[in-house]
Amino acid sequence: MTTPTPSKPQPDAPQAQLSSAAASANGRVPARAAAPALDVSATARAYAADAPLSLDEAPAAMEARNLNLHYGTKQALKNVSARLSRGSITALIGPSGCGKSTFLRCLNRMNDLIEGCKIEGEVFLEEQNIYARGVDVVKLRQRVGMVFQKPNPFPMSIFDNIAYGPRLRGIKKREQLAEIVEHSLQGAALWNEVKDDLKKSALALSGGQQQRLCIARALATRPEVILMDEPASALDPISTLKIEELMRELRQEYTIVIVTHNMQQAARCSDFTGFFLLGELVEVGASSKIFTDPGDKRTEDYITGRFG
């Protein structure tokens, strides 16, 4: 843990482009509160220069409006609204059980698979409400890909893992598949490590390699949005850095949403950060602002390690 240093206000920090329906006027942080126990603000400042600039007019790749979600009688999301800016990385943080994964799964309808789960509200992918009648969920999940916390390669070769989605889309020609496989593995920074072993079982790869394989598999369907649920939590620091570098490269072409418990990681690699607490999206905005000058006392308490 670094020596506590008071964060400085960031007058030139970009304004939040993501809206939070739940952002409350009460509990706003006073001009500068006590010294934080955990200083992620320096990391956020170091990377802020690289973040996309402001905001309100930036086009949204996805937008959730007034999402309420119940598992049986338990409400896991409370009136969550957020815009996810195209071509950016948005990190979702918050204590365990606050609804981060639930929200992420709403973005490609993975919660549909859970019995007793009831969802109200709307989620737009570009112009389309993905919860509208008649939406093809398989196509939706090709456009909005997902990478899970635990790498889940299929029990087949590296090549067949990556070619799986394209084959489902009807691509059969070997040369075309080979091109997609190479391109996707390069995109996921894995090509050089596996190019001579494409027929090898994906299960024989290391954990970090398996995670990059899963990212390559997601890339192979040419998604617009990639959802990542704690993709580096089980990885060593070097593999973690590789995944982070990869995310920053991918954000040129994709919209990325990542759940992480690692606030240094959120500050290092995301453009925007949303803070969840007890099913509510308390606050969402430019990471450089959230980690240096959050608007809500609850966010401040969380990022400074006072609770959670």
Ligand X SMILES: Nc1ncnc2c1ncn2[C@@H]1O[C@H](COP(=O)(O)OP(=O)(O)OP(=O)(O)O)[C@@H](O)[C@H]1O
Please tell me whether residue 99 binds ligand X under the rule CB under 6 A: yes
Query: What is the C-alpha separation between 295 and 308, in angstroms, rounded?
Result: 18
17, 85, 90, 102: residue in contact with ligand X (rule CB under 6 A): 102
Please tell me whether residue 101 binds ligand X under the rule CB under 6 A: yes
Beta strand spans in 8-143 (E): 60-71, 74-85, 89-93, 117-125, 128-129
23 binds, among Mg ion, ligand X, none (CB under 5 to 8 A by kind): none
Determine the size of the site formed for Mg ion (CB under 5 A).
Answer: 1
Please tell me whether residue 76 binds ligand X under the rule CB under 6 A: yes
Picking from 169, 65, 179, 163, the residue whose alpha carbon sits closest to that of residue 123 is 65
Nearest-approach distance from CB 94 to Mg ion, in angstroms: 9
Complex with ligand X: residue 10 or 233, whichever CB lies closer: 233
16, 98, 258, 286: residue in contact with ligand X (rule CB under 6 A): 98
Q: Which of residues 99-138 bind Mg ion (CB under 5 A)?
A: 101
Please tell me whether residue 148 binds ligand X under the rule CB under 6 A: no
Query: CA-based angle 190:232:142, to the nearest 5?
Result: 65
What is the SS3 assignment for 83?
Answer: strand
Please tell me whether residue 71 binds ligand X under the rule CB under 6 A: yes
Alpha helices in the chain (DSSP H): 41-48, 100-106, 137-143, 158-168, 174-187, 191-194, 207-219, 237-250, 263-269, 287-290, 297-303
Stretch that binds ligand X, among 69-77, 179-187, 281-289, 290-298 (CB under 6 A): 69-77
73, 96, 192, 252: residue in contact with ligand X (rule CB under 6 A): 96
102 binds, among Mg ion, ligand X, none (CB under 5 to 8 A by kind): ligand X
Whether 62 contacts 123, CB under 8 Å: yes
Complex with ligand X: residue 162 or 281, whichever CB lies closer: 281
What is the SS3 assignment for 248?
Answer: helix
What is the SS3 assignment for 14?
Answer: coil
Complex with Mg ion: residue 101 or 161, whichever CB lies closer: 101
Q: Which residues bind ligand X (CB under 6 A)?
A: 71, 74, 76, 94, 96-102, 114
